[in-house]
Amino acid sequence: MKIIKFFGIFIFTIFLFGILSRKLGKTPALGYLLNPYEGFLQQSEKKRPDIAMPKNFSSFLKGKAEIQFDEMMVPHIFAENEEDLYFLQGYVTAYFRLWQMDMVTRAASGRLSEIVGDIALKRDRFMRRIGMVIGAENVLKELNKDSTAFKTMTAYTNGINAFINTLGYQNYPIEFKLLGYKPEPWTPLKTALLLKYMAWDLSGRSSDKELTEIRQFLGDAVVNELFPNYPLLMDPIHPQNPEWKNWKPEIPKNPESDWGGFLFNNGITQNFDLPKTEKNLGSNNFVVGGSRTQNGYPILANDPHLKLNFPSIWFQIQLNGPNLNVTGVSLPGAPNVIIGFNQDIAWGVTNVAPDIFDYYKITFKDGSRKEYLFNGEYQPITHKIDTFYVRDKGFVVDTLELTHHGPIVDAKGENFHSECPKDHALRWLAHDPSQELLTFYYLNHAKNLEDYRKALKYYSCPAQNFIFASKNKDIALTSNGKYPLKWKGQGKFTLDGSNPQHDWQGWIPFEHNPFTLNPVQDYIASANQFPTDTTYPYFLHWEFASFERGKRIHDRLKNMYNANVDSLRILQLDNKNMFAEFALPVMLNYLDENQIQHKKWKYTLERWNYFHEPNWVEPSLFIEWYNEFEKLVWDEFYLIKNKDTFELRKPEPVVTISILKKDSENPWFDRKDTPIKETARELLALAWNEAVKNLEKQFQSLEKSVWYQYRGTKITHLAMIPAFSSEILYHGGGTDIVNALGKTAGPSWRMVVQITDKNPEGYGIYPAGQSGNPGSRYYDNMLPIWLKGQLKPILFLENSKQKSKSIISKYSF
Amino acid sequence: MNIVIFLYYLGCTILTVTLGKLMNQLYPITHWLLLFLGVILGLVFSVPRRMAFFYGFLSSFLVAISYTVMIYTQSPIMTQKFAKLLGIQPVGLILIMAILQGLLLGFASLTGAWLRKVLYS
Query: Could you report the per-residue pLDDT of A201-244, keeping only the tens digit for each?
Result: 999 888 898 999 898 888 889 999 999 888 878 889 999 999 99
> Nearest to residue A636, comparing CAs of A222, A105, A149?
A222
For strands A750-754 and A745-747, give the pairing.
Answer: unpaired
User: Distance (Å) from the C-alpha of residue B57 to the closest C-alpha of chain A?
Assistant: 13
Mean pLDDT is lowest, of A49-58, A567-576, B14-23, for A49-58
Of A712, A6, A532, A468, the C-alpha closest to B42 is A6
For A308, residues 6+ apart whose C-beta sits below 8 A from its C-beta are A713, A715, A744, A745, A746, A748, A767, A768
Which pLDDT value is given to residue A646? 81
Smallest CA–CA separation between B19 and chain A, in Å? 11
Interface test with B, best of A3, A12, A13 (most B CBs within 10 A): A13
Residue pLDDT, tens place only, A653-709: 999 999 999 999 999 999 988 999 999 999 999 999 999 999 999 999 999 999 999
DSSP-derived secondary structure for B4-26: HHHHHHHHHHHHHHHHHHHHTTT
B interface test, pick of A2, A37, A177 with most B CB neighbours within 10 Å: A37
Report residue A787's pLDDT band, with 50, 70 and 90 as the boundaries.
Answer: very high
Residue of B nearest to A774 (CA): B78
Q: How confident is the model at residue A51 (pLDDT cuts 50, 70, 90)?
A: confident
Between the alpha carbon of residue A395 and those of residues A121, A390, A392, A532, B11, the distances in Å are: 11, 6, 10, 50, 48
Give the C-alpha separation, A568 to A674, whole Å.
51
CA A241/CA A531 separation, integer angstroms: 12
| Mean pLDDT, rounded, for A177-191 | 95
What pLDDT is recorded for position A278?
60
DSSP label of A213: H
The enclosing H or E element of A153 equals helix A147-164
- Torsion (CA) A277, A278, A280, A282 in degrees, nearest 10: -70
Of B17, B72, B121, the CB nearest to A37: B17
How high is the pLDDT of residue A605?
A: 96
Q: Do the beta carbons of residue A372 and residue A498 sit within 8 Å?
A: yes
- CA distances A810 to A40, A70, A97, A464, Å, are 27, 9, 20, 36
At residue A452 the predicted structure's pLDDT band, cuts being 50, 70 and 90, is: very high
Q: Is A489 on the interface with B (CB under 8 A)?
A: no
Rg (CA), chain A: 28
Lowest mean pLDDT among A267-281, A791-805, B9-23, B54-68: A267-281
CB atoms within 10 A of CB A811: 17
Q: How far apart are CA A290 and CA A296, in angstroms?
A: 4
Q: In a mutagenesis test of the B interface, which of A14, A34, A169, A177 is the best target, namely the one with the most B β-carbons within 10 Å?
A: A34
Distance from CA of B41 to the nearest CA of A (A): 15
For residues A807 and A799, give the distance between their C-alpha atoms in angstroms, rounded to a whole number: 13
Output the 3-class SS for A569-592.
HHHHCCCECHHHHHHHHHHHHCCC
Reported as a single tens digit per residue, the pLDDT across A593-609 is: 999 988 899 999 999 99
Nearest to B31 among A35, A45, A721 (CB): A35
**How many C-beta atoms surround the C-beta of residue A703 within 10 A?**
11
What is the pLDDT averaged over residues A437-448? 97
Rounded Cα gap, residues A361 and A426, in angstroms: 9
> A291-305, A550-564, A578-592, B42-56: which range is least confident on average?
B42-56
What is the band of A412 on the pLDDT scale with cuts at 50, 70, 90? confident
Chain A CB contacts of B107 below 8 Å: 9, 12-13, 16
Q: C-alpha B30: how far from its chain's center?
A: 10
- Tell me which residue of A797, A772, A634, A752 sits closest to A45, measured CA to CA: A772
- pLDDT beyond 90 at A58: no
Percent of chain A scored above 90 by pLDDT? 79
Q: Using CA atoms, how far apart are residues A583 and A575, in angstroms rounded to an integer? A: 16
Report chain A's terminal Cα–Cα distance, integer Å.
Answer: 65
Which of A764, A778, A780 shows the shortest CA–CA distance to A51?
A: A778
Please judge whether B28 and A45 are an interchain contact, meaning their C-beta atoms are less than 8 angstroms apart: no
List residues in chain B touching A: CB distance below 8 A. Answer: 17, 20-21, 24-28, 30-32, 35, 64, 67-68, 71-72, 74-79, 81-82, 84-85, 96-98, 100-101, 103-104, 107-108, 110-111, 114-115, 117-118, 121
Query: Residue A758: what are its φ and ψ, rounded to 5°?
Result: -105, -130
For range B75-92, the mean pLDDT:
93
Q: Is A16 on the interface with B (CB under 8 A)?
A: yes
> Where are the strands (E) in A344-503, listed by range?
345-351, 357-361, 371-374, 377-380, 382-390, 394-402, 424-428, 464-470, 475-480, 495-496
What is the pLDDT confidence band of residue A260, given thresholds at 50, 70 and 90? low
C-alpha A401/C-alpha A463 separation (Å) is: 28
Q: How far is B80 from chain A (nearest CA, A)?
A: 9
Are the Cβ atoms of B96 and A34 closer than 8 angstroms? yes
3-state secondary structure of A625: helix
Of all residues in chain B, the one with the smallest CA distance to A39 is B28
* Candidates A9, A30, A723; nearest CB to B111: A9
Distance CA A206, CA A297 (A): 41
Residue A494 has pLDDT above 70, yes or no: yes
**Are A16 and B107 a contacting pair at CB < 8 A?**
yes
Distance CA A547, CA A528 (A): 9
Q: Is the pLDDT of residue A271 over 60?
A: no
pLDDT for A270: 54
Asked if residue A397 lies in contact with residue A386, where contact means CB atoms within 8 angstroms, the answer is yes
The bridge status of strand A309-310 relative to strand A716-717 is parallel
Q: Is the dihedral of CA A416, A418, A424, A429 positive or negative?
A: negative
Q: From A165, which residue of chain B is nearest by alpha-carbon distance?
A: B25
pLDDT of residue A264: 62
Q: Is the pLDDT of residue A56 over 80?
A: no
Comparing CB atoms, the residue among B67, B96, B103 nearest residue A37 is B67
Q: Is the pLDDT of residue A277 over 70?
A: no
Q: Are the CB atoms for A736 and A280 separated by under 8 Å?
A: yes
**Residues above pLDDT 70, as percent of chain A:** 96
Query: For residue range A356-403, what is the model confidence (pLDDT) as tens digits?
Result: 999 999 999 999 999 999 999 999 999 999 999 999 899 999 999 999
pLDDT of residue B29: 80
- Residue A517's SS3 state is strand
Residue A273: per-residue pLDDT: 59
Of the residues A5, A35, A165, A724, the best mutation for testing chain B's interface (the one with the most B CB atoms within 10 Å of its CB) is A35
